[in-house]
Structure 1
Amino acid sequence: MQPIPFLPFVWRDQSWSGQDDDATPLAQRPDTGLVGYDVEATDGGIGKVDEDNAKVPNDCLMVDTGPWIFGHKVVLPVGTVQRVDHQERKVWVDRTKEQIKNAPEYDADADPEDYRKRSGDYYTESYRAAPPMPPML
């Protein structure tokens, strides 16, 4: 049996967006409706989708970690999103707090392609070490 490849910058499931028309803004940028949502790692909360989320590519989520890791913002590839619950206003990702804390630090002034490669490599390697858990229902 072949392992499922991890594609860090591809949404695994857009069914939660409620949009089927590729011409709608939400279908082009499904993350825009998630600003303010709590973000949960496999072992607990890590923060909220930041109001500056639109400053990162639409295949990433900017998360404000608050005091958890000294007020830093982290950028997660959307491939880490396991599910979204609009009623609870939560996004679940399938990585641990430690994996997220150890991810390459986001720097708005750095070369975006360099950051994208480092981040993609980091999360792809983390999937090789610990494959994603099945979706929570």
Structure 2
Amino acid sequence: MRAPMELWDYRPDVYNRGQALDLVGYHVQATDGKIGSVDEATYEVGESFLIVDTGPWIFGKKVLLPAQVITKIDPQERDIFVARTKAEIKDAPEFDEGAHKEPEYRTRLGDYYRRFPG
């Protein structure tokens, strides 16, 4: 099992902190199709995540994805691939604009995403 903080860090083979990369606007692809586009991205060690605007897929809601679920970033195509299905992402704890940086919310979200391999 991964250490708790690793979930909130980019995989070393996916994103090199030495490179400048703005992921806002990139399309996000679940293992079974597109889920939306990046609305916000953070790059802090141990606190990195994406906020994805799902548009019509789940009626304009946003979802928060820990950086560790990202498996590939394609800067040429502006695509981000994540190791979760649409259903797994849709069933995650609801995004809370006011609490998404609070430890309790991040713990609850982390506990959810740790249940899946990958």
Specify the TM-score bucket, using the shorter chain as the normaliser. 0.7 to 0.9
**CA RMSD in angstroms, aligned pairs only:** 2.5
Structure 1: gaps of 5 or more residues: 21-25, 133-137
Which runs of structure 1 show a deviation greater than 6 angstroms over 4 or more consecutive aligned residues? none
Among residues 68, 72, 75, which one is paired with 2:64 in the alignment? 75
Answer whether contact 1:37 1:91 (CA < 8 A) is retained.
yes
Equivalence map 1:54-133=2 (5 Å): 59-110=48-99, 112-126=102-116, 131-132=117-118
Cα deviation per residue 1:18-77 (whole Å; 9 max; x = unaligned)? 726xxxxx4xxx5xx000000000000000001xx1589751100000010010000000
Q: Give how far 1:106 is off.
A: 1.2
The residue type paired with residue 2 of structure 2 is P
Gaps of 5+ in 2: none
Change in 2 beyond 3 A, CA 1:56/1:66: farther
Q: Whose strand fraction is larger, Structure 1's or Structure 2's?
A: 2
When normalised by structure 1's length, the TM-score is 0.72
What do residues 77-100 of structure 1 show as CA deviations (whole Å, max 9, x unaligned)? 000000100000000001000000
Q: Distance in 2 between matches of 1:104 and 1:81?
A: 18
1:35-50 to 2 correspondence within 5 Å?
35-50=24-39
- Are the structure 2 counterparts of residues 48 and 113 from structure 1 closer, same or farther at C-alpha, using a change threshold of 3 Å? same
Q: Which has the higher helix share?
A: 1
In our comparison, the structure showing a higher alpha carbon Rg is: 1
Q: Which SS does the other structure have where 2:115 is aligned?
A: helix
- Provide the secondary structure at the position in 2 that maps to 1:92: strand
